[in-house]
Structure formats: C-alpha cells, structure tokens
Structure 1
Amino acid sequence: MRIITPHYILLEDRVVTNLSVAYDKTIKKIAPYEELLDEFPDAKVTSLRENSLLMPGLINAHVHIEFSGNKTELSYGDFISWLYSVIENREDLINGCSKECMNKAIDQMLRSGITTFGAISSHAMDLEACENAKQNVVFFNELIGSQAAAADALYGDFIARLDSSKAVKREGFYPAVAIHSPYSVHPILVKKALELVKNENLQLTAHFMESQAERDWLDKSSGDFKDFFEQLLKQSNAICDSDEFLSYFDDHKALFTHATKTNEKELDSISKNNQTIIHCPISNRLLGNGALDIKTLNEKNIRWILATDGLSSNYKLDLFEEMKVALFMHTDQPLLTLANQLLKSVTIDAADALGLNTGEIKEGKNADMIVLDLDVEPNEELPIHIILHRYNISKVIINGEDAL
C-alpha cells in the first residue's frame, strides 16, 4: 500500500486540498493524511512539493506507433497529396522505424503524462514495443482491403495479428479491432470482423469521414479519390456508401476517428448508438481536412475525445499540445467550458469510451495518475492554465507503480 500527499488533487468536478490518496493497483481511499496513516500504518508515504497537483493520467485513444519514423518524408496541406506521399514512402517509413524508434515514441508519450494509449496497428510491427510499454495499451489490430478477391487472404492476416495480440498476457494490455475506413474495407470484411467483435466483446474503432475526398467518393464515386482508386486498384466505384457502413455498426459502442466531413444524418446515427468521435486537431489541420464541428456534437449529445493520431500526421505525441491547439482552433466555444471538456476528453471520457477502469481520481479506479508542478495556487481557471502553461510532470504512476 502507498499513500501520496499532494498539495492539490484534481477530481472530476473540483480541486481539493488537505487530502491524500491511498492506493495499490487501485485507489483505495481519499482522505486526510492522518486518517489514511491510521488505516494503513505500513504504507509507503510520498509527500510532494508545494503547489503540486495530482490528476488522472492522460489517455491517447488513437495513435499509429508504426509510422513514428516520419519527420520530413510526407507532404502536408492536402489529404490526397499526403496519401500519395505515404504510399510513395511507405516502405522507407516502415523499415525506418525500428523497435528503438517505436520505443522512443512510446517513451515520449509517457513523459508527456500519457498513461494509456490506443495503438492502431496495421502490420503488428509495433506489437513487441506495445507489449513492453509501461502504459496500458488498447491494441487495435487494423483491418484494411477493398477488393473482394483478396478478402480471404486479408482476413486471414488480420486474424493472425489479432491472435498474436491475444497471446500477450501482461496487465493493462487489451487486444481490440480497428476497421480502417468505409472506402478501404470491403463490406464482406467489415461484417466478419464485427461479428467477431460482438462474440468476443472487443473494443472497436474506425476512421470515418476524414476528408472531402472520402465524402465525394462515398456519395458519388467522384472527386479526388476517383483517380486514386482507378489508377492503383482498378476500381471505378465506391464499395459502399456511408449509410451502409454506419449501419453495420448499429448497437456497437464504436469510436469513429476524425469525422470532420460528417453530415447530419450520420451524426444522428452516431448519437443514436451512443458512439464516440475521436478528434485529432493537429492531424486534421496538417492534412487540410478542416476542424471538427464540436458545437454540433455537443448539441447532439455525441461524446468526443481528443487524440494525437500518429507521427505521420503530427509533430509530437503530446496531449497537452493537442489540447492547446484545440483550445485555439474552436473559437466559437466558451474558453473555460472548452478547457474543461478537453481535460475530460483525455481522462474520464476517454476511459469510458475505451471501457477502462481509469481516467479519474476516485476510489475503486485504477491508480493511473500524474503529478504536475504548478507555480501558484490554482484558481477557477485552472483547466485553462493546465492546457496553456505546460507544467512540469514530476511523477507518473500506472496501475499503482511509479513509471516515471
């Protein structure tokens, strides 16, 4: 048993002081220090500096570890130009990111306070790095392939990767399923994968409506994707439309990433099914896809959470940076309200969306916590200050163990 005594604790709805936290793997009790010491006299005690803030560890629900070698190889500003640059440099990007490269990306997340991440794995090259990570990992094995003739081979490869992730038995590692997108996965594969998700109760995510090219292709089999599919895949029509794709996800608590080009009908479907949208603001800006309409999401009671995406469309894997960009991007939202939503989106809301027992400082929750070294006493605008000022992270605790 351990007892940690910070100056302040960030709870779901308020900041408290003069309290300590007793924990092992989970948080056992939040109470005054003397009360905890009486109850747990043999506990190891850690007393923190003045103006230290204990808060939940951050959760990065969508990141591509396999492409962490990118810095200058890819083209930004337009989604299709970026996609062609990914295809052109794919082999170099994959071969150029060794185990050390992926470990560095995972360590970068740890040092920025990320105690849980959702790895979108296309090739399982990141499996070993994620298995050995200190963080909790939801390991999303990604399914991709739009051609029916190759469906059996593609599904076989997907199942083999999923089985490999299931063989990982360490605490805090959760095998899961990712469907790449409606334009890139044949309905045959989608339906087979979703049946497996249902039978095995796996977490589920998909890319959805990231670009105008996707919008035009799914609606009319036209636009910037037309040349792409005709030249590379000899395919002249979309394999399904967005309504058909979303219908497969009915009654699944899926997480849809990006969704910057969704229409009202699609959002109504996502709302009806209590599904979640993952917002990656830096990636959306770098690939020219615009800003997510979070005002409409809030009006439709659609939960949205924040993530970094991968280094193929970002410059760092840092949720504090991502929150800061989002704070300035969504200028139609009240600043303090948005800051509170952003903090929830990378803690309690992300944990709930991923089905994890973490994301808040609360008795019974997993002891995934970080310590920020504030410079002054916090006030009612603390959420804004946390996002703006990039306070030092002096301690990271994951499942009750010191990770940093």
Structure 2
Amino acid sequence: MQIITPDYILTPDTLLLGMSVAFDTTIKKIAPLEELKKEFRDADVIKLKKNSLLMPGLINAHVHVEFSANKTKLSYGDFVPWLYSVIENRDELINGCDDACMAKAINSMLEAGITTFGAISSHGMDLNVCANAAQNVVFFNELIGSQATMADALFGDFLARLDASKSVKREGFYPAVAIHSPYSVHPILIKKALQIVKNEKLKLSAHFMESSAEREWLDKNEGDFKDFFENLLKQKSSVSSSSEFLEYFNGYETLLTHVVKANEEEFQTLSSNRHTVIHCPISNRLLGNGALDLQKLQKHNIRWICATDGLSSNYKLDLFEEMKCALFMHSNMPLLELAKNLIKSVTKDAADALGINSGEIAEGKNADMIVLDLDSEPSDELAIHLILHRYNISKVYINGKLEKGI
C-alpha cells in the first residue's frame, strides 16, 4: 500500500486540493493525508515536488507499432500517394523494425505518460513487445483482404494471430479484433470475424471514411481508388457500400477511426449504435484528409477520443502533442471547452470506449496515474495549459507500479 500526496489532483470535473491517494494496484481511498495514514498505517508515503499534479494516465487507443521504423520513407500530403508509398516501402519498413525498434516506440509512449494503448497489429510481429510492455495493451488483431478467392487463407492467418494473442497471460493485456476498412475487407471475412467478436465479447475497431478516395469508391466506384483497385487487385467495384459496412456492426459498439468524410446518415448510424470515433488530427493533416467535424459529433451525441495513429502517419507518439495540434486545428470551437474535452478524450472517455477500469483518479479504479510538475499554481484554464506547455512527467504508475521516475 502506498499514499501519494500531490498539491493537486485532476478528476474529470474538478481540481482537488489538500487530498492524498491511497493505492496498491487500484485506488483505495482519496482523503486528507492524516486520515489515510491512520487507516493505512503501514503504507509508504510518497513525497512530491511543489506544484505537483496527479492525473490519470493517458490512453492512446489507436497506434500501429509495427510501422515504427518510418521517418522519411513515406509520402505525405495526399492519401493515395501515401498508400502507394506504404506498399512500395512495406517490406523495408516491416523488416527494418525489429523488437528493439518497436520497444523504443512503446517506451516513448511511456515517457509521454501513456499508460494504456490500443495496438493495431497487421502481421502479429508486435505481439512479443506488446506482451512485454509496461503498459496495459488492447491488442487489435487486424483483418484485411478484399478478394473472395483468398478469404480462407486470410482468415486462417487472422485466427492464428488472434489465438497467439490469446495465449498471452498477463495483467492488462486484452486480445481484440480490428476490421481494416470498408474497402479492404470482404464481407465473408467481416461476418466470420464478427461472429467471434460477439461470441467472445472482444473489443472491436475499424478504419472508416478516412479519405475522399474512400468516399468516392464506396459511393460510385470512382475516384483515386479506381485505378488502385483495378491495377493492383483487378477489382472493378467496392466489396461493400458504406451503409452495408456499418450495418455489420449494428448492436455492437465499435471504435471507428478517422470518420473525416462521413455524411449525415452515417453520423446518425454511429449515434444510434453508440459507436466511438477515434480522432487522429496529425495523421489526418499529413495525409491530406481534412479535419474531423467535432461539432457534428457532439450534435449527434457521438463519443470521440483522441489518438496518435502510427509513425507511418505521424512524427511522434505523444498525446500531448496530438491534443495541441487538435486545439489549433479546430479553431471554430471554444478553446477551454475543447481543451477539457481533449483531456477527457484521452483519459475517462478512452477508458470507457476500451472497457478499461482506469481513466480517472477515483476509488476502485486501477492505479494508472501520472505526476506532472507544474510551474505554478494552476488557474481555471489548467486544461489549456496542460496541452500547450507539455509539463515534465516525473512519475508514471501502471496498476500501482512505478514505471517511470523515482
């Protein structure tokens, strides 16, 4: 048992002063220090610097660890040229990122206060490093393949990777499923995978409406994807329409990433099925896809969370950096309200979306916590300052264990 005494504690709605937190793997009690010392007499008391802030560990719900070797190999500015560059450099990027490369990316997330991440795993090459990561991991085994003739082989590979992830037995590791996108996964595969998801109650994620190319291909079998599919896959039409794709997920809450090009009808479907949208602002900008309409999501009461995507479409895996870019990207939204929602999106809302018992400094929650060293007493605009100034993260606790700091 330990007792930590910060100057300030950030909860979803309020800033607590003069309170301490007693915890082991979970948060046992929040109360004044003297009260906790009487109740937990053998607890170690942790001393913190002046102007210390305790807040929930950050949750990065969508990251491609396998592509962490990229720095200058891929083409930015437009989605389809980027996609061609991924295909052209795939072998070099995948083979060029061994366990040490992926572990470096995972450790960079730990240094940035990320205590849980959702790994979108295309090949299963990241299983070992994710299994041994300090963080909690939701391990999304990704299913991809639009050709019916390859369905059995692709599904067999997917099942093997899923089973391998199920063999990992450690606290905070959760096997899950990702369907790549409407244009890249055949309905036969989607239906078979969703049966497993529903039977085993696994978490589910998918990319959806990321680009104009996807919008035109699904709606009209036209646009930039037309040449791509005809030349590479001898495919003249999309395997699913947008509405057909979303219909597969009816009744099962899904995390849908990007959603930049969604229309009104799709927003209504997302809302009625209680899906969550994962917003990756830096990725969207680098691939020329525009900005997600957060106000429309809020109008439809659709939960949204912020994530980094992978280093194939980002320059670092840092949620504070991601939130800062979002703060400037959505310039039509009230600044303080947006900042508060961004902080909530990478803590409580992300935990709720992933089904993780964290995201809050609250009794009964897992002790996934970070300590930030503020420069001075916080003001009412703390959320803005947390995002803008990237304060030093001096301690990171995951399930009550100190993983960064002394």
- TM-score normalised over the length of structure 1: 1.00
The aligned runs of 1:296-335 (5 Å cut-off) are 296-335=296-335
Residue 33 of structure 1 aligns with which residue? 33
CA distance in 2, matches of 1:288, 1:228: 18
Residue 139 of structure 1 aligns with which residue? 139
How many residue pairs get matched? Answer: 404
- Given the alignment of the two structures, is residue 278 of structure 1 paired with residue 274 of structure 2, yes or no? no
Residue 401 of structure 1 aligns with which residue? 401
CA distance in 1, matches of 2:54, 2:166: 33
> Which amino acid in the other structure matches residue 73 of structure 2?
E
> Which amino acid in the other structure matches residue 321 of structure 1?
E
CA distance in 1, matches of 2:192, 2:209: 22
> Which amino acid in the other structure matches residue 148 of structure 1?
A
Residue 16 of structure 1 aligns with which residue? 16
Residue 253 of structure 2 aligns with which residue? 253
Q: CA deviation at 1:44?
A: 1.0
Residue 263 of structure 1 aligns with which residue? 263
RMSD: 0.4
The aligned runs of 1:86-97 (5 Å cut-off) are 86-97=86-97
> What secondary structure sits across from 1:155 in the alignment?
helix
Residue 57 of structure 1 aligns with which residue? 57
The aligned runs of 1:197-216 (5 Å cut-off) are 197-216=197-216
Q: CA deviation at 1:213?
A: 0.2
Residue 156 of structure 1 aligns with which residue? 156
Residue 227 of structure 1 aligns with which residue? 227
Q: Deviations over 1:108-159 (max 9, x none)?
A: 0000000000000000000000000000000000000000010010000000
> What secondary structure sits across from 1:175 in the alignment?
strand
CA distance in 1, matches of 2:38, 2:304: 42
Residue 45 of structure 1 aligns with which residue? 45
Q: CA deviation at 1:375?
A: 0.3
Q: CA deviation at 1:81?
A: 0.3
Residue 289 of structure 1 aligns with which residue? 289
Q: Deviations over 1:52-98 (max 9, x none)?
A: 00000000000000000000000000000000000000000000001
Q: Deviations over 1:317-367 (max 9, x none)?
A: 000000000000001100000000000000000000001100000000000
Q: Which runs of 4+ in 1 moved over 4 A?
A: none
State the identity %.
72
CA distance in 2, matches of 1:147, 1:370: 46
CA distance in 2, matches of 1:317, 1:403: 18
Residue 392 of structure 1 aligns with which residue? 392
CA distance in 2, matches of 1:12, 1:316: 26
Q: CA deviation at 1:392?
A: 0.1
Q: Deviations over 1:268-326 (max 9, x none)?
A: 00000011000000000000000000010001100000000000000000000000000
CA distance in 1, matches of 2:275, 2:44: 41
Q: CA deviation at 1:11?
A: 1.0
> Which amino acid in the other structure matches residue 161 of structure 1?
R
Residue 346 of structure 1 aligns with which residue? 346
- TM-score normalised over the length of structure 2: 0.99
Residue 128 of structure 1 aligns with which residue? 128
CA distance in 2, matches of 1:248, 1:239: 13
Q: CA deviation at 1:47?
A: 1.3
Q: CA deviation at 1:241?
A: 0.2
> Which amino acid in the other structure matches residue 353 of structure 2?
A
CA distance in 2, matches of 1:210, 1:283: 10
Q: Which runs of 5+ in 2 are unaligned?
A: none
Q: Deviations over 1:195-247 (max 9, x none)?
A: 11000000000000000000000000000000000000000011110000000
Residue 244 of structure 1 aligns with which residue? 244
